[in-house]
Every structure is written in structure tokens, then in C-alpha cells.
A and B are shown apart, each in its own frame.
Chain A
Amino acid sequence: MSLIKSLSQRDRVFDFMAPAESPVDVRHGPILYMEDVTVSFDGFKAINDLSLTVDDGELRCIIGPNGAGKTTMMDIITGKTRPDQGQVWFGTRHNLLTMNEPEIATLGIGRKFQKPTVFEALSVFENLELAMTADKRVLPTLFARLDGPARERIDEVLEMTGLAEQRRRPAGVLSHGQKQWLEIGMLLMQRPRLLLVDEPVAGMTEQEMERTAELLTGLAGKQSVVVVEHDMGFVRSIARKVTVLHQGSVLAEGSMDEVQNDPRVIEVYLGESEEAA
């Protein structure tokens, strides 16, 4: 029944006529859908038969020991790495495997890297300006001028991330924590439907961590957020649903308590814990 509906839907609304603001169709399912994805590097399977779904507006935490494939998973979603097999859909309409990074980004998937990457030679303000949703083709970019509302939005994010005083300084001189914030700020400027956040609190103080938790939980609902994190305390403070990755596939999924009591998870973490310590 729903299949027929979606087909008729497609007949009526052509892809190119879809509203630019929200091209993602999430009426019939999750915002992110991965099925049987496998990637191998020189025979080593970094991702092995991974299936994962993230609902619209959800805040999902992904944990797992080193080498579990967390970063590779993000690479696949953002188009940096192509899987050997499997499917990755954004909403029901967009097959991410056929798109490149900028297309995926424009579609509304934002990513924060494990190591904070900001444009060090540009000022904080310019970093945010570049990230802002706009016509990102070549000539429009060449002739682009900042209008009032755009400036307001940048100011708004500067306030939100506590970087207002640093706006004119080159991003390269910021502290590690400030760079993390700037990167989150750039994500906010993109207004993504789905945020992929890789280890957001590494190098942050206790206080900054609290603010980050606040920000991320605040975003959830309007936007979907996927957080990869090692810091269990932080995960506990924000997580509603947790997915445990191990050796490239999903080991367990559920609330933090359920996951922590799962015997397989305990085994993996205890087995690894000696090494990790």
C-alpha cells in the first residue's frame, strides 16, 4: 500500500520540482538507512555487513572500540569512501552512493571531523560565512555579497558558540576547544538535516562538555544527530539510543542501560579494556 503511495507521489512531484529547502523525503521512514554495507581495505573488512537506521529528529550515539569502523562509516555516509556493496539512502529519495561530497553536503548532511578542521588562514567570521547555506556554485560565489539577514545569522551563531570576540581573528590561532566550537558553529550554519559528529568533546573542559551536551540535545528533534564518542560519561549524559559497533558491524543497540548490561558488549569492552588501559 505504502509502495503504491510513494510511486504515485513520485509521479506528481518530480525530483527537480521538489522544494529546495527540504528535499529529503522522510515521510515513509528513517532519515538515514544503511543496509548490508561492506568495505574492505586490502582484504581487511573495515565495515562488515553493517545495517543501521536513524530516525528523523533522533539523537543517536555510536560507540565501539578502536577500529570498530566508526569513522569509516561516516566516510561512507558523506561520500568520501565508496562501499564495496550495500545501500545507503538519505530519506527515501536520495541514494547517497551515487553522489559526491558536495552534493551530499548540499543535501543536508553536515560532518564534524574527529580532528577539528577549520580554515586556519581565514577569520572565524569567514569560516562561518563559507559554511552558510547559499548558492555554492562558482560564479554566484564569485559575485556573492553578504546581506543583512546573513550577517545576523552569523552573529547569532557566533554568540551561540561563544566566539563573538574572536570573530576577526584567524581560526588558526584559536585554542583546541575553540576550534571544536567553531566547527560545530560551521555545522550550524549549514542547517543540515543530519549532523554527523565525530568525537565532539575531545580536548574540552568539563564545562565546555556540558555546553556541548546542551547544544546537541537542543538540536535533536529539529535535526537528526549522530554522535561518535569515546567518553562514556558524555554519551550517558546525552544518549537516548546507543549503537555499539564491533569489527565493522552492529553488536548491540538500545538504551545506554540495556547496552551496558549486554553480555557481548561487556565481553568486547572487557577483552579490550586491558589494552585500552
Chain B
Amino acid sequence: MWLTQPFNERSTQLFLGVLLAAMTLVTLLHLVVPAGHPLHVNAYTVNLFGKYLSYALLAVAVDLVWGYLGILSLGHGAFFALGGYAMGMYLMRQIGDRGVYGHPELPDFMVFLNWESLPWYWQGFDMAWFAFIMVLLAPGALALVFGFLAFRSRVTGVYLSIITQALTFALMLAFFRNEMGFGGNNGLTDFRDILGYNLRSDATRLGLFLATGVALAVGYVVCRAIVGSKLGRVCVATRDAEARTRFIGYRVERFQLFVFVVSAMLAGLAGALYVPQVGIINPSEFSPIFSIEIVLWVALGGRATLYGAVIGAILVNYAKTVFTGVMPDAWLFALGAMFVLVTVFLPKGVAGLLAYRFKRRRNDADAQEVTP
């Protein structure tokens, strides 16, 4: 079958192996090693790792379009945030009458704004299955409409980057408005439980971490399968010579649209897993800076490798955690410097360095991973 194809690849086997090992290790260190022991991983750290993994999934989604399709999306944060909001709406509805105002149906911020009833687009989010579908559908639909218009008129390259940035910027402004019904500035927060499990309990946190790991694995395999298919090769062809690809009979815009929508859905999934772990979703996730930062993760890890995106996301975010803890002022300097240094000195990222070390063992068959 098409989806099992990636399991034959060594790089996928290695990636899944490492991921599984890491997840097992964290679980064991959390559950088996007693608290107080230096090797014990506390719930906070598990939660942090879970956040990293959702970022990693987001980075994989960006790498799919940037690495293989050559579309530098500066608006993937929007898809991530939309997925997050869909999940946030479900979690809001789960609060029920336990809010500050104790209204049985309306979230606190709506009561505060003197709203009478739930807006139509909040209907159905009390049901988990509906919310989880919307997690994929909402970003997918946005990507479909936006991508359809953009690719049909052959907006590519820098232009596309700029208008994706404008898209997420416009959405940020929109979500900041109270009238939108998404909590305005404060966003959605004060969640209590998910599928009946208390979000503040250690067990739920571990569960979310593991679920994110599984989602990352699935997302990775799906992307790998796409990339390894003939469609993946059409993508690479489009990236390197779009006009030529048209002249041999491929409707390039449809391929771009397909991959863009898949990527947006994965980003939405990542957002949905992110929100219950950090306990809040607000319009800052739409900010253009966040979207560009995602691209940095991919660039640092190594474009067009997928596993590089995962490495990059975890490295940068780990660095962020460390830096903002020790010297918060220096973080933006470090981030800015990373942008410059990676693009100038490390165009193939960390994965490129790794690949260089194993170059002798590789044969020409892996040629498709060569970036121009």
C-alpha cells in the first residue's frame, strides 16, 4: 500500500525508532523513577516536551510545502492557530457551568460581553468528534480557498510569501476583535478537562505528550509517503522548474493546492495538540513573527528532509526555553543571529551536516534528497 511505502526507507525507520525510544524513555523516567531522583522527569517537563513535539509536527508541515514544493509560507502560524482555536472552543464548551459566571452554556467572556446566546459557529463544539474534525477542516478550508486563488493566478515565490504573511496578519487583527466571538485579546483559556480527563493532572499531561508523539509519527509517515510518491517528484519538479512541469502536462496549481491543504491540516492538528498542553490559545499565535520563526526551525534543521524540521523545531525551542530562563533580553539577539547564520553559513541545516558525515555510505539512489 501507498502509506506503508515509507516504512521501507531507512531514514523513516531510524526516525520512528528514535521517536519511539524518546517517548518510552520520557514515560519511564516520569513514571518509574521516583520524584526527587536526579533522573526523574517531572510533569512540567513532560508537558514541555509535548509542546516541543507539537511544534515539531508544525515544522514538518512547513517543510512539506517549503522543502518539497518551494512555497515559503509565512502564514502557517494561521493554520496552527485555527486548529488551536477549534480545540480551544471544544475545551471552552467542556467547562460548562464551572466558569466564573456559572453560565451553563456561554463561555465567561461571552457573558462578560453581555451576549445572549452562542453564535452559530460555536454550535457543535461541545461534541469532541465534531471539534476534532474541525481541527482539520478549518485550516484545510482556509488553505483550500487561499491556495486555490493564489495558485490559480500563479502567485509564487516571494509574492506568495508576502501575501501569506498578510493573511495571517489580517487574521490576527480579526481575532483581536471582541466582536469575532473568540475571546478577543485574551483568547480562550481556563480549560478544565479534555474527553473527561482533568487537564491539570499529571496523567493527562503524559497522555497528551504521548498522543502528540503519535501524531508526529503519523504526520511524518504521511508526509514521507507523499514525498516518496510520484506526486512528491512532481512537487520537486515544480519547485525547481515550474514552467517545465506545466509543459509536460501537469496541472501544477492542483498539485500545489493538494500539498498546501495537507500541510495546513497537519499544522492545524499540531495546533490542536498544542493548546491543551499550554492551556491557552490567543491571537498572538497568528502573529507574523511566529510564522517566520517556524520557517527558521525548518531552515536550521535542514530543508526538504522532514526529520531536519523535527530536529530544528526541538533545538530552537529548547534554546528558547533555556535563554528566556537565563537571560531573556538575549533571546531575540540569539534568534536574529540564528536567522542570519543559518541562511548564510548553513543553507542545508543540521540535517545537511549529518548527511555530509554519512555521505560515503549513501548511494546515488538517495539523490532526491539533494537540494539545489
Direct contact of A and B (CB under 8 A): yes
* B258→A123 contact, CB < 8 A: no
Report chain A residues within 8 Å CB of B229.
Answer: 141-144
Set of chain A residues within 8 Å of B251, measured between Cβ atoms: 100, 102, 136-138
Complex Cα–Cα for A105 and B367 (A):
27
Which chain A residues lie closer than 8 Å to B370 at the CB level? 121, 170, 172
Shortest distance between the CB of A150 and any CB in chain B (Å): 11
Q: Is B78 an interface residue (CB 8 A)?
A: no
Q: Is there a chain A Cβ closer than 8 Å to B248's Cβ?
A: yes
Decide if B246 is an interface residue (CB 8 Å cutoff): yes
Q: Any chain B CB within 8 A of the CB of A186? A: yes
* B39: interface (CB < 8 Å): no
Instruction: State which of B15-23, B143-151, B188-196, B235-243 sits at the interface with chain A.
Output: B235-243
Residue B364 interfacial (CB < 8 Å): yes
Quick one: which of B309-363 are within 8 Å of A by CB? Answer: none
Q: Is A80 engaged at the interface, CB distance under 8 Å to the other chain?
A: yes
Q: How far is the CA of A78 from the CA of B2 in the complex (A)?
A: 34
Q: Mark A153-193, 1 if CB is under 8 A from B, else 0.
A: 00000000000000011101000000000000010001000
| Number of chain B residues close to chain A: CB under 8 A | 32
Are B234 and A102 neighbours in the complex by a CB distance under 8 Å? no
Given contacts A137-B251, A142-B2, A168-B367, whether A117 and B246 have CB atoms under 8 Å apart is no
Minimum C-beta distance from A184 to chain B (A): 13
User: Is A25 on the interface with B (CB-CB < 8 A)?
Assistant: no
* Cβ of A15 under 8 Å from chain B: no
Beyond A119-B237, A119-B241, whether A102 also contacts B246 by CB under 8 A is yes
Bound together, the chains give a CA A121 to CA B231 distance in angstroms of 15
The reply on B252 being an interface residue by CB < 8 A is yes
B367 touching A130, Cβ below 8 Å: no
Q: A169-B367, A170-B367 are in contact. Are A121 and B250 (CB under 8 A)?
A: no
A106 to B189, CA, bound (A): 53
Q: In B206-228, which residues have CB < 8 Å from any A CB?
A: 226
Query: How far apart are the CA atoms of A100 and B243 in the complex, in Å?
Result: 12
Does residue A246 face the partner (Cβ distance < 8 Å to B)? no
B371 located at the interface, meaning its Cβ lies under 8 Å from any Cβ of chain A in the complex: yes
How far is the CB of A119 from the nearest CB of chain B, in Å?
4
Contact A141 B255 (CB under 8 A): yes
Q: Report A-chain residues with C-beta under 8 Å of the C-beta of B248.
A: 105, 110, 130-131, 186, 190
Q: List 23 contacting pairs A-B, 8 Å CB cutoff, sorted by A.
A: A102-B250, A102-B252, A105-B248, A105-B249, A121-B368, A122-B236, A122-B237, A122-B368, A123-B367, A129-B230, A130-B248, A136-B250, A136-B251, A137-B254, A138-B251, A142-B230, A144-B229, A144-B231, A168-B367, A169-B367, A170-B364, A170-B370, A190-B248
